[in-house]
Amino acid sequence: MKRFQMITEADARMLEYGSTVMLVAGGHVTPLALDTLRARRIAVVREGVDVDAESLAPPADVRVVAIGADHTGVALKAAIRQHLRGRGLAVHDLGTDGPESVDYPDIAAAVARQVARREADAGVVIDGAGLGSAIAANKIAGIRAAMCLNQTLARYAREHNGANVLALGATLVTAADALTIVDTFLAAAIREPRYLRRLAKIRELEGAARRH
């Protein structure tokens, strides 16, 4: 992890998109650099203090949700979409909408990319078991997708692990249970510095994987 006494805008533009850097105790980030760091989704870990929560933590106030499902999850997707819109949230439905077979990695990646680009505050991906979509979504840099079967897992996924995409198995949960899981996931937020520090380490692993 690169260490800085001061981060200027020129420094910020040279850093790898989505990377994590260390600011030594007493270090300084210039105002223009802050804007560039946020735009490039670069996390700043302050030595002996905490983590730049804004760049790491999913938005606590979810207003826009991207959702997608393969052919096994069309009905469940429709139920979730209607439920969320009924709550006043904007929902980007990325398909599919019919019984014809589609490949879950394509749908999961489309949802994950919207979340990674911050076009959506959170994502929901659905297939038969939810596992494949979670794996596919997690291949997109900046995505932390979790397959959740109950409210407890949904809350932990957000509060402890900063998950920004929820994966559901259409064959494993009822529509009623899925709505409760989704509501729990979207309502939870990661706040504790110790969890944010761990997210910084996850992001560093992502950077290492891209370099090798």
Q: Which residues are catalytic?
A: 160
The per-residue DSSP string of 109-120 comes to HHHHHHHHTTSS
Do the bridges between strand 122-127 and strand 90-93 make them parallel or antiparallel, or are there none, so unpaired? Answer: unpaired
Q: How far apart are CA 191 and CA 174, in angstroms?
A: 30
Length of the chain: 212
**How far apart (Å, rounded) are the C-alpha atoms in residues 67 and 107?**
9
List the structure tokens of 113: 């990319």
> Which residues lie across from 125 on neighbouring strands?
68, 167
Cα distance between residue 52 and residue 193, in whole Å: 9
Neighbours of 117 (CB within 10 A): 12
Cβ-based neighbour number of residue 116 at 10 Å? 20
Angstrom distance (rounded) from CA 81 to CA 69 = 11
Q: What are the residues whose beta carbons fall under 8 Å from the beta carbon of 95, sequence distance 6 or more?
A: 68, 69, 102, 107, 110
